[in-house]
Amino acid sequence: MPNTELPGDDTARHETGRLTDAQRSTLGSLIDSIQPVPDELGERFAAQGQQLALVGGPVRDALLGRDSHDVDLTTDAVPQRILELVDGWADSVWTVGIDFGTVGLRKKGLQLEITTYRSESYSPKSRKPEVAYGTDIEDDLLRRDFTVNAMAVHVPDGTFVDPFGGLRDLHAQVLRTPGRPEDSFSDDPLRIMRAVRFAAQLGFTLAPEVAEAARDMADRLTIVSAERVRDELVKLMLSPNPRTGIELMVDLGIAQYVFPEIPRMSLEIDEHHRHKDVYQHSLTVLDQAIDLERSRGHEPDLVLRLAALLHDIGKPKTRSFEGNNRVTFHHHEVVGASMTRKRLNKLRFSKDVVNAVSKLVSLHLRFHGYGKGEWTDSAVRRYARDAGDQLERLHILTRADCTTRNKRKAAALARSYDDIERRIDELAEQEELDRIRPDLDGNEIQEILGIGPGPAVGKAYRYMLELRLENGPMSKEEATAELREWAGQHIE
């Protein structure tokens, strides 16, 4: 990368680190990968006396050797000026974020965002930031969340800008704010959630002053919109190590303002694993679900990971004490499914995610009635039918839910679940279990019984579905005879 320079050691706040040859090379590769943005657009801005720089995540990820799909740029040009400068160059432009100083555009398949140098802050009761534009890149970098995201590369000349020691913190794998963390978190409280998310995503630790400010100011998250909190939570859950982020949320008192049901689990003792509380058990299940997810070749799965974390969320509300000091949590899966639905809806998760996670929570205990394989084929059919399109996730969740230290017991549970998966696969091959239907449809039921549409048809259909689950497929003649016999007793 030509002309890559370093700021002097007399920078205002921190002594910056030195780029290695490898890091210079990766920044050069980053610039090459997003052509023609650096050369054509950078020169277009420079010709009009405006600055343009790659900033934030793309620079950080390049220096870490990580792939990045973002192209974020910053400039001293105000939004209207940005629109003028990209007119005739960009293939398409959108202005959804223009009130916050951001212009989006597309060029030769690349999607990028250009944001005017700015500062933003929240008033004590506001859910929306107040934006003011700036003219100096260092002031813009000062307002960013963490020093590792406060590095930039000017285009087209490739000058590296790092006034707050981001490169140093990158090497140390620590999250530090460019200025005082109290000021940063006050400006945008969502940065508290970003701190734990980056810890999980990058494997970094929080600087002591950052952790302390996050703990002291966690209640400020209540002014942030549920959608923004949800988006950070999603990124955390899909990170390589979500447990790190969840534990930080709990330890720093953040979870009580985001997902209070999670820290409440730490008070309850699991009746099957008395050496662990429910919170620790749930974290272990989350870890094991991720291991199984990877071993089965799946991509990071938000629904599965949420279900693993929340499967025992109903235990605090269902705890009761029986003889011999035994603690029980009867029907905690039903209560937990309801609690899960309520919390995920409050966080504005999509209907599909809410339904899928709640379903898995409600079903996570079903397998424990399997014993040593005593279930009939009809019971196995019902298990698969009730799981529906969540069956593979239920397989993983159920296996992950075994956290016993008793190796013999763990092996027995694994063998039992191997057996139920085998039986489901065999039945699926024989009967196309995932598309199971009664042997007679509604029109055939009406024709055979000589009745029109109405409640009686629905009752007959449900009876035929139960018969199909109980006995497996029948010929049309057998199904007709069964329907007529049933109708003689139930339909006048």
Q: Are residues 19 and 156 in the same domain?
A: yes
Q: C-alpha angle with apex 132: 59 to 39, nearest 5 degrees? A: 35
Q: Is the pLDDT of residue 425 over 90?
A: no
- Predicted confidence (pLDDT) per residue in 365-384, tens digit: 888 777 666 788 888 888 98
Q: Is the pLDDT of residue 434 over 70?
A: no
Q: What is the arithmetic mean of pLDDT over 127-135?
A: 73
Q: Is the pLDDT of residue 16 over 50?
A: no
Q: Is 29 helix (H, G, I), strand (E, B) or coil?
A: helix
| pTM of the shown model | 0.79
| Domain C-terminal end among 389, 410, 435 | 435
Cβ neighbours, 10 Å, residue 301: 18
130's enclosing H/E stretch is strand 130-133
Instruction: Give the C-alpha separation, 234 to 221, whole Å.
Output: 16
Task: Give the pLDDT of residue 70.
Answer: 81
What mean pLDDT is reported for the chain?
87
* Cis peptide, bond prior to residue 453, ω within 30 of zero: no
Give the lowest-confidence range in 40-49, 122-131, 188-197, 291-300.
122-131
Between 151 and 409, name the one with better pLDDT: 151
What CATH number is associated with residue 226?
1.10.110.30
Between 5 and 94, name the one with better pLDDT: 94
pLDDT above 90 coverage of the chain, percent: 60
Q: What is the arithmetic mean of pLDDT over 283-303?
A: 96
Q: What is the arithmetic mean of pLDDT over 8-30?
A: 65
| Domain C-terminal end among 146, 172, 198 | 172
Long-range residue pairs from 466-475, CB within 8 A, at least 24 positions apart, any chain: 467/438, 467/439, 468/436, 468/437, 468/438, 468/439, 469/378, 469/381, 469/382, 469/385, 469/436, 470/378, 471/378, 472/377, 472/381, 472/430, 472/431, 473/431, 473/439, 474/439, 475/439
Q: What is the arithmetic mean of pLDDT over 28-32?
A: 88
Q: Is 47 helix (H, G, I), strand (E, B) or coil?
A: helix
Paired residues of 290 in beta bridges: none
N-to-C CA span, the chain: 86
- Name residue, tokens 């390049």: 62
What CATH number is associated with residue 429?
1.10.3210
Give, in order, the Cα–Cα distances in Å from 341 to each of 177, 234, 312, 335. Answer: 35, 16, 13, 10
Largest CA distance in the chain: 95
Structure confidence at residue 283 as a pLDDT band (50, 70, 90): very high
Q: What is the arithmetic mean of pLDDT over 59-71?
A: 87
Tokens of 60: 């950080």
Q: Are residues 28 and 144 in the same domain?
A: yes
What CATH number is associated with residue 46?
3.30.460.10
Instruction: Give the C-alpha separation, 187 to 179, whole Å.
Output: 11
> Beta strand 72-75 with 110-116: parallel, antiparallel or unpaired?
parallel
Question: Rounded to the nearest 5°, which phi and psi values hold at 19?
Answer: -70, 135
Q: Are residues 413 and 314 in the same domain?
A: yes
Q: Are residues 22 and 141 in the same domain?
A: yes
Task: Give the pLDDT of residue 430.
Answer: 67
Question: Rounded to the nearest 5°, which phi and psi values hold at 411?
Answer: -65, -40
Q: Is 266 helix (H, G, I), strand (E, B) or coil?
A: helix
| Domain C-terminal end among 121, 138, 172 | 172
Q: Is the pLDDT of residue 3 over 50?
A: no
Q: What is the arithmetic mean of pLDDT over 196-211?
A: 96
Q: Is the pLDDT of residue 428 over 50?
A: yes
Task: Give the pLDDT of residue 379.
Answer: 87
Q: Are residues 91 and 167 in the same domain?
A: yes
Q: Are residues 186 and 111 in the same domain?
A: no
Q: Is the pLDDT of residue 275 over 60?
A: no
Give, in order, the Cα–Cα distances in Å from 188 to each of 62, 228, 470. Answer: 26, 11, 58
Residue 335's domain comprises 266-435
Instruction: Give the C-alpha separation, 72 to 53, whole Å.
Output: 8
Q: What is the tally of structural domains in the chain? A: 4
Q: Are residues 90 and 119 in the same domain?
A: yes
CB 23 within 8 A of CB 4: no
Q: Is 269 helix (H, G, I), strand (E, B) or coil?
A: strand
Q: Are residues 157 and 231 in the same domain?
A: no
User: Strands, E, within 212-352: which ranges?
Assistant: 320-322, 326-328
Q: Are residues 419 and 462 in the same domain?
A: no
Q: Is the pLDDT of residue 123 over 90?
A: no
Question: Rounded to the nearest 5°, which phi and psi values hold at 257?
Answer: -100, -10
Q: Are residues 18 and 128 in the same domain?
A: yes
Q: What is the arithmetic mean of pLDDT over 469-489?
A: 89
Q: On the CB side of 363, how many CA atoms lie within 13 Å of its CA?
A: 26
* Cis peptide, bond prior to residue 36, ω within 30 of zero: yes
- Predicted confidence (pLDDT) per residue in 239-263, tens digit: 999 999 999 999 999 999 999 999 9
- Name residue, tokens 């429910």: 278
Structure confidence at residue 12 as a pLDDT band (50, 70, 90): very low
Paired residues of 63 in beta bridges: none
Q: Is the pLDDT of residue 325 over 80?
A: no
Tokens of 174: 């620590």
Q: Are residues 228 and 334 in the same domain?
A: no
Instruction: Give the C-alpha separation, 89 to 106, whole Å.
Output: 10
Q: Are residues 203 and 342 in the same domain?
A: no
